[in-house]
Amino acid sequence: MVDSLSGGFHTRRPSPHEAIAVTDTPIRHDWTRDEVLALFDLPFNELVYRAHTVHRAHHDPNAVQVSTLLSIKTGGCPEDCAYCPQAARYDTGVQAQKLMDVDDVLARAKAAKAAGASRFCMGAAWRGPKDRDIPKVAAIVRAVKDLGLETCATLGLLGDGHAQQLKDAGLDYYNHNIDTAPEFYGEIIHTREYQDRLDTLEQVRDAGLKTCCGGIVGMGETRAQRAGLLQALANLPAHPESVPINQLVAVPGTPLANQEKLDPFEFVRAIAVARILMPRSVVRLSAGRQQMDDAVQALCFFAGAGSIFYGEKLLTTGNPDVEHDQALFRRLDLRAMEVVEQPGTVHADILESEAAGCGHGCGCSAAA
Ligand code: SAM
Ligand code: DTB
Ligand code: SF4
């Protein structure tokens, strides 16, 4: 249980006294590689300044969306993604487990909500779900949604009708990453095509689900290829509502186990460029935070990251301790965003006294 005032996150709702200027930054889907690379090549301060300017024009710079991740079906995956500890063909020590029961998932979702998460993301180590898996996942989604949490699932490639059935069960977001630049993709994955991923993303959009789509940096790609990943994301038919930027977690036993670590400032650049290309999307500072300095994370938030995974585990690898993240939020005066505009809103009373501060429930210290 989180001690709300001394230990918990501050939470925020949109506060009427804090005007968020909405500029008319154009939403573009025709970025060229040279344009994206030119952003990467800007002097660091210039790039981060530009990114922050775009960020605060469209988002509250002091609020961060907090999601918790759970692996609902772990390991034993037939695919060969070179970064992935859950691929059966790599000896990573991950024990394969079957799909979790609804009640077990529900207990974890309740704990995540109590700790301050507003979205619960469920991952399955499948190439894609079978038709018979969908009703089981749908029951899980429905139960989690009934807690008043936003729901997200990442199950791999979707078949006909899957996206719609998940939507009908109350799924808000579907996560499916393009992972890297089209021209680097073949170095990382051989068991599914780039186009397969684009097809699944189309099904997700067509079903009216929100898209969570990003990729991984630090897999040995060049800066031009990092630009290629972000160009491909920005030139999708619609910008994903959520854009997770993962730093490779190099797991022993995977082909990328010994991959040299990316310069942290290059990671910040990737966040900044994503922010500029997709001004309205929420860019997630995703995997890799456990290996990252707090100061680098602070730079990422300044450069436009507006979301994190929260909880001591990602799917199979570590994530910063809850206490560490709560302290980081306090040190940076960041507040965890609440779910708004939805029935079953996430209540923040265990996180923050509603009576405190300005009375808007935004967690600020201004007088009412
Ligand atoms: N099996 C499904 C699929 O691949 O679509 C869903 C789960 S998969 C683990 C979700 C995403 O996690 C991958 O697309 C990849 O971007 C990310 N991921 C997996 N292993 C990672 C690692 N070691 N470091 C960073 N990101 C990773
Ligand atoms: C995403 O882009 N990153 C998350 C989530 N979507 C599913 C997964 C990160 C996984 C890191 C490796 C692991 O914990 O197994
Ligand atoms: Fe399987 Fe997904 Fe891991 Fe690829 S990323 S090996 S599809 S679990």
Q: 130 CB contacts (<8 Å, ≥6 apart)?
A: none
The CB of 216 under 6 Å from ligand 2? The reply is: no
According to CATH, the topology of domain 29-352 is TIM Barrel (3.20.20)
Contact 306, 241 (CB under 8 A): no
Instruction: Tell me the three state secondary structure of residue 32.
Output: coil
pLDDT of residue 18: 40
Residue 259 CB neighbours (<10 A): 15
Does the annotation count 77 as an active-site position?
Answer: yes
Does the annotation count 84 as an active-site position?
Answer: yes
The CB of 287 under 6 Å from ligand 3? The reply is: no
C-alpha to C-alpha distance for 334 and 354, rounded to whole angstroms: 17
pLDDT of residue 25: 72
Does the annotation count 81 as an active-site position?
Answer: yes
Q: What are phi and psi of 211, to 5 degrees?
A: -95, 130
Instruction: Tell which one of 178, 286, 291, 308 to mutate to probe ligand 2, the residue whose CB is within 8 A of the most ligand atoms.
Output: 286
pLDDT of residue 338: 84
Q: Which one of 119, 152, 213, 226 is the catalytic residue?
A: 152
Ligand 3 center–CA 83 separation, angstroms: 9
C-alpha to C-alpha distance for 182 and 164, rounded to whole angstroms: 28
Which residue, by CA, sits nearest to atom 3 of ligand 1? 156
* Cα R_g (the chain), whole angstroms: 20
Q: Please identify, by atom number, the ligand 1 atom nearest to the C-alpha of residue 256.
A: 23
Burial classification of residue 19, based on how many CB atoms lie within 10 Å of its CB (0-12 exposed, 13-18 middle, 19 or more buried): exposed
pLDDT of residue 341: 46
**Nearest by Cα to 314 from 340, 333, 287, 341:** 287
pLDDT along the chain (368 residues), means of 10: 36 40 74 98 98 98 98 98 98 98 98 96 98 98 98 98 98 98 98 98 98 98 98 98 98 98 98 98 98 98 98 97 97 89 36 29 30
Q: Which one of 121, 213, 300, 362 is the catalytic residue?
A: 121
pLDDT of residue 174: 99
How many degrees, rounded to 5, is the angle at CA 343 between CA 340 and CA 348? 50
